[in-house]
Chain A
Amino acid sequence: MSTTPLLQCSDVRKAFPKPDGGELLVLDGMNLELNPGQIVGLLGRSGSGKSTLLRLIAGLSEPSDGRLSYLGQPIYGPAAGIAMVFQSFALFPWLTVFENVALGLEAQRMPKAEIRKRSLAAIDLIGLDGFESAYPRELSGGMRQRVGFARALVVHPNILLMDEPFSALDVLTAETLRTDFLDLWSEGRMPIKGVILVTHNIEEAVLMCDRILVFGSNPGRILSEIKVALAQPRNRLDPSFRELVERIYVEMTARPKGVASVGRQERFPGLGIGSVMPPVSSNSLAGLVEAVAATPFNGTADLPKIASELHMEIDELFPVAETLQMMRFAELEGGDLKLTEDGLAFAQAELDERKRIFLRHLLTYVPLAAHIRRVLDERASHVARKSRFIDELEDFMNEDAAEQTLRAIIQWGRYAEAFAYQDDNAVFSLENPI
């Protein structure tokens, strides 16, 4: 194997234009190198730009700035030596397993006999023997993703890109597929030289990767790089494995550097009328507060532990935890979630008292909710159209994010009885019209 990197990204930046002429930065200062024989993991939550980076590497979209090169050559459009496995499998439902696998070779105009030979070999390798003439709809999720793998491997790529390939599968199937993949990889039976794996599952990253790049959001950037020196096959119960998982949790909950000296706000990041709110319901918020308050956590929960206790992946857990932090019901630090005094009080309280506490925190710490309430109070009619607030939000974010943010605020506002909202005519009001 040569020592030139398979893939290099330097100072890659990706931004989308906004309707008002500005731009929405989704990826900034991205530097990445993939060397032969490596599996590199891109770990982060949705919205951290990891999938965007993968699509840039795949040549499916182009960077706004910076350089991507494959084997020293700049990437323009999909390159012949880079193949991709998709989260939702992306199989053509009208083609059989064999036809799906052969499609990539057909596109390369390979001779018929060669296509047949290579396709059958790939199908054989990935354990799909006997399913050649089946249609995807006849297969289980795990078998479908095997087709996804065979289809990518058959073109003999140097780099295999995997976009959360196991996240649409059940736990058991995902584990089998991961193990099979790692076996083939370590035995060198696959025609690939390097792998980039996008995932939001911390354990999956530690299990499979040689290097993990931890992504942060707003804009998407690399927070840190973690080397995994454990020998394959790895054991999830191994103390050093657990230690790594814990360390990544700490990294992912670390406060962004540079915010620390802004005064009183510093402990609670991400405030302002233009922040995007996650689609978290008041039920989830109350549920997590209760879980942390109860034994065995008694007010302070270790994130990996509570994640496995509640069967939540970081993609589900983090938005809830961060919303609690934003409303100051809890603090996130060092991989722990610790309830504040009001958080504990909320956990103990009855429904009406809970609503009072929630209302106070909502109007104090969520500027958008306070803003809506203020507008309603100031108007003689006490009503305001939703479009008005959407317009305001779109100065800071795109249309979808604005809609999502307002939906979250509406849900919290209804729970707290801070204001009412009528979906039929998209109007906020103070009183609930019944």
Chain B
Amino acid sequence: MRRFEPFGFLRDLATRWDIVAFVVVIGLIAFLGEAARGLFIPLAQLDVTPLSLDPVHLPEYAARTTLRMLAALVLSMGFTLTYATWAAKSERAGKLLVPILDILQSVPILGFISITVVFFMSLAPGRVLGAEFASIFAIFTSQAWNMAFSFYQSLRTIPVELSEAADSFRLSPWMRFWQLEVPFGMPALVWNMMMSMSGGWFFVVASESISVGHTSVALPGVGSYIALAIEQKNLAAIGWAIGTMLLVILLYDQLLFRPLVAWVDRFRVEQEPGARVPQSWALTMMRRSKLVQAGKLAFHAAVLWTSRAVPHADAERIDAPRGSRRSLDLLWVLLVAGAIALGVWHISAVVIESTPLAEALQVCGLAFITMFRVFLLIGLASLVWVPIGIWVGLRPQAAQIVQPIAQFMAAFPANLLFPIAVYGIVTWKLNPNIWLSPLMILGTQWYILFNVIAGASTIPTELRYASENFGVKGWLWWRKVALPGVLPFYVTGAITASGGSWNAAIVAEIASWGKTTVEARGLGSYIAEATTAGDFHRIVLGILTMSLFVVIINRLFWRPLYYHAERKYRMT
């Protein structure tokens, strides 16, 4: 029973969280609205009102960049919910869709933009919108694949009893999707969204200033601002951009991901008692705000309403006769075979016919150089970060401080820092083949660090006491306790770092400062040069080679290593 309170209605009308929520919501709308207005201006306008290095414009540029990011995120979500569901529900489609996803993951993201920009520009001729599409598509490609993968995995691992409960209470497929499958997949999906985000920031910056052959666009945004600053050799402007980006990522983290992570915690099926529940002030705000609550109720009602509106599938199972099922299978196989044949024919038409063998061999050689670089850098980064990560992970207080910083650094687009490095290389006339290399791992090394920290903090306390008790110290302790304890986590981090470094190669192996361009030999700079020259055969050849290398390295090296580490060294 509710006690009567004088002025109770006043307290019901709005809580103090409502005021915060109101300000935040209206602020966001105004911010994004302002940014969206720019979409429909003609392309030529971009030349009339050129970018300016005045920091006053940075908030607007940041808003544009943020909006692109958000749009891509929404697209990725839509892609995930449909593609992964299709792959998981249809055995036939899954056989094809899952490997496709795996390959798409290995294609260098900037490769997508080089190839698709012309197509997108033609979608909205003469308008900024076309270039925006291309840019958003590039971010989409950096997020969608692993989100879809995670949701697919979730769909395949729904606990049998939950699934049976849904069946036995006769939920319609639509209701089952929204009440069981989506909630179950949510925690993994949000985590992957966060991981994708760092890739997204990297490429939102790289994709704003697009230049493919004669097509050259600079969309208003932090990335273009940086590109302009490089052209004009303005170190101060680069500093401003870095500061802005730090702020934007911080806001994204606080306003989007923290609340999401705290919110999805309720969707976890295994609940270990005593595990720390993630907290977020923004989520608290939303939960306490009547305004947001009303919105949530409306959403709930919509979900229930659609569940009722969608026609109820009959509970009876409809089984196609065996014969027709087999002929459908055959048809499917023929269809796939046809598509593959067509694909192979196209690729050979584009690449093989116009590529002399010497060129192909040269590209292969360049790929080996880049591969050598990636492995060497991962090794060096591991030498530095594994001991530090273990040291930090074993000290909860230190881990609490360092872990968020490491995650934040991973999300920060490292390409913003490139100009500073290039400035150094040009000024001191360093060898670019060596000194450009670290840029490839600048942004991705943090994955190693924060995974190792996470790993070290899961080493059971009793195990540590035991090793102390038996006097296991020094090198023996590292060899028998610490390193095996973090190995599965380390491998996960190294895989992510390696994938990211391959991607970064395209922007890291070639860089410029004003009119000076420094270049390191490798597949990345090959693709970058081909892109600048607008040479499609070479772009395709380069990207094909890179995808092939990444797929093969994953299959022959990382995947076996991962399973070995999981099987042998995973605790619990």
Q: Interface residues, chain A, CB within 8 Å of chain B? A: 55, 58-60, 62, 76-80, 82-84, 86-95, 103-104, 106-109, 135, 137, 151, 155, 424
Q: Across the two chains, which residue of chain B brings its CB closest to A79?
A: B315
> How many angstroms from the CA of A303 to the CA of B266 in the assembled complex?
45
Among B26-34, B158-166, B365-373, B485-493, the stretch in contact with A: B158-166
Task: Specify which of A76, A107, A135 is in contact with B171 (CB 8 Å cutoff).
Answer: A107
User: A58-B168, A107-B175, A108-B170 are known contacts. Are A93 and B271 too (CB-CB below 8 A)?
Assistant: yes
Verify B308–A88 contact, CB threshold 8 A. Answer: no
- For this complex, 19 residue pairs linking A to B, each with C-beta atoms less than 8 Å apart, are A59-B167, A59-B168, A60-B164, A76-B315, A78-B167, A78-B168, A78-B315, A84-B165, A88-B161, A90-B162, A92-B165, A93-B267, A93-B269, A94-B267, A103-B179, A104-B170, A107-B307, A137-B271, A155-B169
> Binary interface profile of B, 145-163, with partner A (CB < 8 Å = 1, else 0)?
0000000000000010110
- Indicate which residue in B165, B170, B308, B316 contacts A90 across the interface (CB closer than 8 Å): B165
Is B312 an interface position by the 8 A CB rule?
yes
* Chain B residue nearest to A136 in the complex (CB): B271
CB distance from B306 to the nearest CB of A (A): 12
CA distance A60 to B172 in the complex (A): 14
In the complex, what residue of chain B is closest to A112 when comparing beta carbons?
A: B304
B544 within 8 Å of A (CB atoms): no
B214 within 8 A of A: no
Is B57 on the interface with A (CB-CB < 8 A)? no
Distance (Å) between the CB of A322 and the closest chain B CB? Answer: 28
A89 to B269: give the CA distance in the assembly, Å: 12
**Residues in chain B within 8 A of chain A (CB atoms):** 159, 161-162, 164-165, 167-172, 175, 179-180, 183, 266-269, 271, 304, 307-308, 312, 315-317, 568
Q: How far is the CA of A94 from the CA of B175 in the complex (A)?
A: 14
Q: Contacts A104-B169, A106-B175 given: A92-B162 contact, CB under 8 Å?
A: yes
Q: Which residues of A contact B269 (CB under 8 A)?
A: 93
Closest 3 CB pairs of A and B: A104-B169, A90-B161, A90-B165
Is the CB–CB distance between B183 and A92 below 8 Å? yes
- Chain B residue nearest to A76 (CB atoms) is B316
* B161:A87 contact, CB within 8 angstroms: yes
* Alpha-carbon gap, A38 to B568, bound state (A): 51
- Is the CB–CB distance between B169 and A109 below 8 Å? no
- CB-CB under 8 A from A62, the residues of chain B are 317
Q: Which residue of B lies closest to A99 (CB)?
A: B179
Cβ of B267 and Cβ of A107 under 8 Å apart?
A: no
Q: Verify A77–B315 contact, CB threshold 8 A.
A: yes
B165 touches A86 (CB 8 A): yes
State whether A103 touches B162 (Cβ < 8 A).
Answer: no
Residues of A within 8 A of B308 (CB): 109
Contacts of A91 in B (CB 8 A): 165
Which chain B residue shows the least CB distance to A163?
B161
Known: A92-B183, A93-B267, A94-B183. A86 touches B164 (CB 8 A): yes
Tell me whether A60 and B271 are in contact in the complex, defined as CB-CB below 8 angstroms, given that A76-B317, A93-B266, A424-B568 are known contacts.
no
- For B304, list chain A residues within 8 Å (CB): 106
CA distance A384 to B316 in the complex (A): 50
Query: In the complex, what residues of B have CB within 8 A of residue A83's CB?
Result: 168-169
* Cβ–Cβ < 8 Å partners of B312 in chain A: 109
A58, A62, A137 pick with most chain B CB within 10 angstroms: A137
Contacts of A58 in B (CB 8 A): 164, 168
Given A76-B317, A92-B183, check contact A106 B168 (CB 8 Å). Answer: no
Contact A107 B172 (CB under 8 A): yes
A103 and B171: CB pair below 8 A? yes
Q: Are A103 and B168 in contact (CB under 8 A)?
A: no
Whether A60 lies near B170 (C-beta < 8 A) is: no
Distance between B326 CB and nearest chain A CB, rounded to angstroms: 15
Minimum Cβ distance to chain B for residue A424 (Å): 7
Task: Tell me the minimal C-beta distance from B183 to chain A in angstroms.
Answer: 5
Distance of A60 Cα from B164 Cα, bound (Å): 7
Residues of B within 8 A of A109 (CB): 308, 312
In the complex the two chains form, is B317's CB within 8 Å of A77's CB? Answer: yes
Report how far A274 CA is from B517 CA in the complex, Å.
Answer: 71
Name A86's contact: one of B161, B179, B271 (CB within 8 Å).
Answer: B161
